[in-house]
């Protein structure tokens, strides 16, 4: 089974690419969704986050409000590092467990792990391939403002991440999401064809 790490900046097209790959039969593991599970009230990890950042991150029903948490940590390297130190070890352990499970089941040739921080954590080195989805910074800002952020908030979030040029330099495969959906689809199909070839050769 070929393992692919899919990464990119915020609002750069990762989710769109992941959706296309899922539709084409790849197994998809989304680190973000796993991280959300750890923020649920019934999860003990959420208590640790609450102790660290205080009751101001809660919504009216007593759940951790990810938007409030984001406002506190984005743009503050020390706070992001602290949050990551609490959640990441659990997420990485769960990713490893799920990959093992997929390997054992033998039902898929390609497993794609989607995460914003593959490169920053060094975790990308554990995959067979690294794919980077990217678009222009002005498009990231535009997409984030459509999601309800102000241009200032959007710019801060983009600035708090590793520059996309650095990510692209490390990529085995790049998927340019700055054009039309058809152009993105074509690149996804080309990358997938390469991966299938590699997966077959390694059998």
Give the tens place of pLDDT for each residue, 78-107: 898 899 899 999 999 999 999 999 999 998
Q: Output 157-165 pairs: Cβ under 8 A, ≥24 positions apart.
A: 157/10, 157/70, 157/74, 157/75, 158/9, 158/10, 159/75, 160/74, 160/75, 160/76, 160/77, 160/80, 161/9, 161/10, 161/116, 162/119, 162/120, 164/8, 164/9, 164/12, 164/132, 164/134, 164/137
Structural domain boundaries, residue 99? 2-201
Cα–chain center distance at 178: 18
Calpha distance 170→5 (Å, rounded): 12
Give 157 or 103, the one with higher predicted confidence. 103
pLDDT at 11: 93
Confidence of residue 74 (pLDDT cuts 50, 70, 90): confident
* Confidence (pTM): 0.89
Calpha distance 23→134 (Å, rounded): 20
pLDDT tens column, 161-196: 889 999 999 999 999 999 999 999 999 999 999 999
In a 3-state reduction of DSSP, which class is residue 58? strand
Mean of pLDDT values over 48-54: 94
Q: Is the pLDDT of residue 202 over 80?
A: no
pLDDT tens column, 108-129: 999 999 998 899 888 999 999 9
Q: What is the DSSP letter of 23?
A: H
Number of domains in the chain: 1
| CATH code for position 53 | 3.40.50.300
Helix (H) and strand (E) counts in the chain:
10, 5
Mean of pLDDT values over 25-52: 93
The helix or strand, by DSSP H or E, that contains position 176, with its residue range, turns out to be strand 173-176
pLDDT at 203: 66
Confidence of residue 201 (pLDDT cuts 50, 70, 90): confident
């Amino acid at each position: 089974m070929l393992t692919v790490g899919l990464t990119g900046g915020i609002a750069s097209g990762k989710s769109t690419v992941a959706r296309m790959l899922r539709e084409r039969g790849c197994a998809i593991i989304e680190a973000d969704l796993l991280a959300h599970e750890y923020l649920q009230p019934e999860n003990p990890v959420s208590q640790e986050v609450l102790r660290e950042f205080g009751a101001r991150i809660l919504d009216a029903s007593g759940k951790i409000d990810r938007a409030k948490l984001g406002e506190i940590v984005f743009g503050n390297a020390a706070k992001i590092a602290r949050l990551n130190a609490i959640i990441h070890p659990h997420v990485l352990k769960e990713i490893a467990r799920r990959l093992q499970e997929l390997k054992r089941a033998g039902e898929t040739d390609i497993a794609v792990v989607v995460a914003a921080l593959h490169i920053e954590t060094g975790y990308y080195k554990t995959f067979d391939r690294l794919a980077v989805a990217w678009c222009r910074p002005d498009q990231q800002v535009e997409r984030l403002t459509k999601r309800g952020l102000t241009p200032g908030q959007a710019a801060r979030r983009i600035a708090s991440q590793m520059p996309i040029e650095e990510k692209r330099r490390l990529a085995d495969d790049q998927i340019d999401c700055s054009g039309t959906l058809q152009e993105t689809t074509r690149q996804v199909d080309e990358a997938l064809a390469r991966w299938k070839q590699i997966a077959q050769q390694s059998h």
